[in-house]
Amino acid sequence: MRMGSTTYIIGVHFSTESKDTLEDKIKRLMRDDVKADNF
């Protein structure tokens, strides 16, 4: 994925036992990044 001049390489692995949806995972990642000022 490319945003501006930055290229992101995204790898995804899902556990077959997970109850989270992809949307849940992305929201959690975004929330954690905001909490850590990692943006």
Higher per-residue pLDDT: 3 or 38: 3
Please count the structural domains in the chain.
1
Give the whole-number percent of the chain exceeding pLDDT 70: 97
Planar angle of CA 10, 11, 15, nearest 5 degrees: 140
| Owning domain of residue 23 | 2-35
Assess whether pLDDT exceeds 90 at residue 27. Answer: yes
Tokens of 27: 């929201």
Residue given tokens 């943006």 in the structure block? 39
pLDDT of amino acid 33: 92
pLDDT of amino acid 3: 87
Higher per-residue pLDDT: 35 or 14: 35
**Mean predicted confidence (pLDDT) in 7-17:** 87
Q: CA 8 to CA 24: how far, in whole Å?
A: 20
